């Protein structure tokens, strides 16, 4: 609310006091006769008071805007109001200190402000270019789940504009089950106090509500200087095709079991000087996968199929000098070690992941990782997802 309106309302409220007193002493009829006079007088007084208070503030705001543009020679006007004069004097001292600092550095103040504005403009342009090029959208929510930022590409997946999402609870754009799932995940993230990437797979409600959209998000928690949870920042993209890939993985389960048996028998009898993976599978089963990687409990790559160069660009001898963490995007060596511990307990695991090519680009894949207990090794059978 503007100061002028606030003062006017206060004066009108005060004017009710004499009206009430007259009404009590002389009756409502007499009070009604003075009502118009009192209101007109009050409005006039309110306008005069607000003018003398707000005009100096408007001038001071205008001067501060000039200073923010780099004009340190602006003349700050004095006011009849003591408190505003104190504020003006403080601002004068700040400008004097800034001028002295600039003089000691040996730069012109115009250069400092111009470079700052230029750098800010370039950063905004680069961010805008990035948001337009990436296949997905960026969004942020605060600790209460209120969306504070959202990029324009959300419309391509869900149909909403950023204005329709910003300022609202993100849970309202999810089915009830997935909304509760996200709430639970946010609670866990806020309690962990760890700045780690979290992968979220959730159904979202499209604007036309014609069908749910399965979205994969990579989220990073945000904390302030006191390590208090402030919300999460996420990158999301439509991952509906993953459902098709998962169904295909289920169809391949029987073939995978047979392939594992063949691999187990081969590793027991195959000479060490030959590849640990070739030939492992019959032609029909091998065609179901794009490549395979064999690595130990420390994620050190021990062997891989020869056709891996066609998919990732690495020669086989280059792969043998890497770890599995060098191939996987968004997961650290510690994250992979934790996954391997879980696979060791369960025996096998299906994972949706992103593999990194030699040229730095990425490819979405479906992994089927099995633990070979007899040799204390892991085999990862990989199929590229059609995204």
Using an 8 Å Cβ cutoff, are 175 and 203 in contact? yes
Stated pTM of the model: 0.39
Q: How far is residue 110's CA from residue 376's CA, in Å, rounded to a whole number?
A: 66
The CATH number assigned to the domain holding 170 equals: 3.30.450.20
Instruction: Give the C-alpha separation, 226 to 53, whole Å.
Output: 39
pLDDT surpassing 80 at residue 232: yes
Is the per-residue pLDDT at 279 higher than 70?
no
Same domain assignment for residues 228 and 358:
no
- Report yes or no on 110 lying in a domain: no
* pLDDT tens per residue across span 66-124: 766 666 666 766 666 666 777 777 777 777 776 666 665 555 555 555 655 666 666 55
- Tens-place pLDDT, residues 189-227: 888 877 778 888 899 999 888 778 889 888 889 998 888
267 with 359, same domain: the answer is: yes
> Are 285 and 380 contained in the same domain?
yes
In a domain, 202, yes or no: yes
**Using CB atoms within 10 A of its CB, is residue 194 exposed (0-12), middle (13-18) or buried (19+)?**
exposed
353 neighbors 335 (Cβ within 8 angstroms): no
Which of 239, 267, 286 represents a domain boundary (last residue)?
A: 239
Query: Residue 296 sits in which domain range?
Result: 245-384
């Amino acid at each position: 609310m503007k100061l002028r309106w606030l003062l006017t309302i206060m004066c009108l409220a005060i004017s009710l006091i004499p009206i009430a007193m007259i009404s009590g002493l002389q009756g409502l009829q007499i009070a009604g006769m003075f009502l118009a006079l009192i209101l007109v007088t009050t409005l006039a007084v309110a306008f005069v008071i607000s003018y003398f208070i707000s005009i100096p503030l408007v001038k001071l705001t205008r001067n501060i805007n000039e200073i923010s543009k780099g004009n340190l020679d602006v003349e700050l006007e004095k006011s009849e109001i003591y408190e505003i004069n104190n504020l003006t004097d403080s601002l004068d001292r700040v400008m004097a200190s800034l001028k002295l600092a600039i003089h000691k550095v040996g730069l012109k103040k115009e250069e400092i402000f111009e470079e700052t504005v230029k750098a800010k403009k370039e950063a905004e342009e680069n961010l805008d270019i990035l948001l337009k090029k990436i296949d997905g959208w960026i969004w942020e929510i605060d600790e209460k789940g209120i969306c504070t930022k959202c990029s324009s590409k959300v419309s391509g997946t869900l149909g909403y504009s950023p204005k329709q999402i910003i300022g609202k609870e993100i849970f309202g754009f999810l089915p009830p089950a997935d909304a509760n799932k996200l709430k639970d995940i946010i609670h866990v993230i806020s309690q962990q106090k760890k700045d780690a990437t979290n992968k979220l797979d959730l159904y979202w409600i499209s604007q036309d509500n014609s069908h749910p959209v399965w979205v994969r998000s990579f989220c990073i928690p945000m904390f302030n200087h006191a390590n208090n949870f402030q919300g999460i920042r996420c990158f999301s993209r439509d991952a509906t095709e993953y459902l098709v890939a998962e169904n295909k993985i289920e169809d391949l389960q029987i073939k995978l079991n047979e392939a594992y048996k063949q691999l187990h028998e081969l590793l027991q009898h195959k000479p060490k000087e030959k590849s640990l993976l070739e030939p492992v599978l019959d032609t029909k089963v091998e065609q179901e996968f794009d490549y395979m990687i064999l690595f130990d409990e420390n994620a050190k790559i021990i062997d891989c199929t020869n056709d891996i160069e066609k998919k990732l660009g690495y020669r086989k001898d280059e792969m043998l000098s890497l770890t599995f963490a060098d191939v996987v995007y968004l997961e650290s060596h510690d994250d992979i070690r934790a996954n391997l511990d879980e696979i060791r307990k369960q025996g096998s695991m299906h994972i949706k992941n992103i593999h990194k090519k030699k040229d730095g680009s990425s490819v979405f894949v479906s992994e089927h990782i099995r633990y070979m207990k007899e040799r204390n090794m892991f085999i990862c059978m990989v199929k590229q997802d059609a995204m």
